[in-house]
Amino acid sequence: MTTHEVPESLRVEGFRVRRSFGFGPLSKGATIGGALAVAVDGIIATASPATLLVTLPATAAVVGLAAARRHGMSALTYYWAKFAWRRAARSDTTAYRQMFLPHPYALDLPGVGASSALIEAHDPTTGQRVGVVHDRVTGYMTITTLLAPGGSLMAPTSAVRGTIRTWGQVLDAMSTDEQVKGASVTIQITPGAGEALSDDVKARKRADAPQLARDTIDELVRTTPHATASVAPWMSVTVDPNATVNPPRELGEKVAESLRVVDGLDLSGTGTDVFRRATATDVRRLVRSAYDPDSFNAREEHFGQLQWGECGPVAADDGWEEFAHDGGVSVSWVLREMPRRPIPYSVLLPLLSPGRYQRRVTLAYRVLSPHEGEAVLEREISNAAQRADATAQVKGRAKWSQKADFARAEKAAAQAASGAQVVDWTLMVTTTARSTADLPAARQELERAVKATKGIRMRPAYGAQGAVFAAGLPLGYNPLVKD
């Protein structure tokens, strides 16, 4: 069996989680909070020493929870989030029923998409209609581009290296444009029926073909009944049309300014072909078919007649580890930590391979400006050095992991000084099953795909299933974009 070998020149590295300075495993906030709690205990003890029997155990418990880790976060943060979610669940805040909403709230999408509105605009550059999602709170505009990516596994090394270099140029253009607030690239894989592959092969098979060829293709069809899939990739760019010297006043001028900014991002040479800008009907289809998988194969006329609020779910329940919506139940996972070693550019291939259930893989990112990126990296170097020094003062030497973390921070700063871009980014994966009974199998399939990436650590989006589900759709929500 032939395996895909990736040369060292096509491996990427430099992934690092931001870490504030704190004592031991504590964060900066937890360290300051613990110090204040101890100081308060000391003040209280001078007036009434007996109260230490109550305050000291409580302080120790809180500091212990802050120091302990749970799914890549502090246990205090995890359990506080779970407490907040349970409180919201008791008040039915996590449940959505469109038919019970009064006007005009019934015309909005639920959750993080409530402030969005869909505008059908005309792009003067291409002469085509474009669907623009407007955030009525921040004023940001999100424009989605439908893509047609090409395969790179069989491409020569020089071509793949050029593709990676071109993507770096796109990131560089984003970092110097103050109007670009963030972007996300999503690939949605929807499994097709097994009969589709059989029917296609049957129609194209020639009677005069060699018997070995016919037997081979028949065996492939028989053993891969779920190999067919519909792949829909798109890229959404969020723009602030007001972040300019002369901000536009009218809504139409803001849309035109946003289109101008997105048109300035050249994706040619990035390994993907730009199919076209997504129309309002395209955006409705992507959003509605995600909430209601049964409408995936509906006609264009069906989506063209929908109001923006009708693209969301009629009913939804945002659970702690799952999100139930029209015609399906979804599970979303988020990035926990990237490998600390160089990884091949094709590391996400297991997540992008078709399976039995629909899957949506989203890479969301925000490119920092050169000035902000330099400040962040210098702060990270200082924090890493302070953590190592604090550990050395207590234990006599710093941990090897702390020394390695400091070295990675210094290397990232050196690369940024040479022109590399600093990017805040995250990875989100959503898989959808048609029923609750199929949910365990869908979750198991996702777990296997994550493990197959060999190093990428992910976890369920605890208490944020609905938000992460929406982040993978072209409705203007990017968790990394700051207001």
Average pLDDT in the 423-434 region?
94
Average pLDDT in the 219-240 region?
79
Confidence of residue 26 (pLDDT cuts 50, 70, 90): low
Structure tokens at 431: 């898989």
Confidence of residue 341 (pLDDT cuts 50, 70, 90): confident
Q: Report whether pLDDT(398) > 90.
A: no
Q: Report whether pLDDT(3) > 50.
A: no
Least confident of 7-11, 113-117, 431-435: 7-11
Least confident of 97-101, 315-319, 349-353, 475-479: 97-101
Share of the chain above pLDDT 90, in %: 36
* Predicted pLDDT at 203: 74
Q: Report whether pLDDT(54) > 80.
A: no
Average pLDDT in the 342-355 region?
86
What is this structure's pTM? 0.84
Cα–Cα distance, 170 to 252 (Å, whole number): 27
- Separation in Å, CA 261 to CA 124, 179, 255: 13, 8, 10
Confidence of residue 92 (pLDDT cuts 50, 70, 90): confident
Residues 157-212 have pLDDT tens digits of: 777 777 878 888 888 889 888 999 999 999 999 886 555 566 667 777 888 888 88
What are the domain boundaries of the chain?
A: 19-93, 96-192+228-368+421-471
Q: Are 321 and 465 contacting, i.e. CB atoms less than 8 angstroms apart?
A: yes
* Predicted pLDDT at 446: 94
Structure tokens at 99: 């038919």
Of the chain, the end-to-end C-alpha distance in Å amounts to 51
Average pLDDT in the 123-144 region?
90
* Predicted pLDDT at 1: 37
Average pLDDT of the chain to the nearest whole number: 84
Q: Are 349 and 6 contacting, i.e. CB atoms less than 8 angstroms apart?
A: no
Those residues whose C-beta lies under 8 Å from the C-beta of residue 199, and which sit 6 or more positions away, are none
CA angle 400, 404, 407 (to 5 degrees): 140
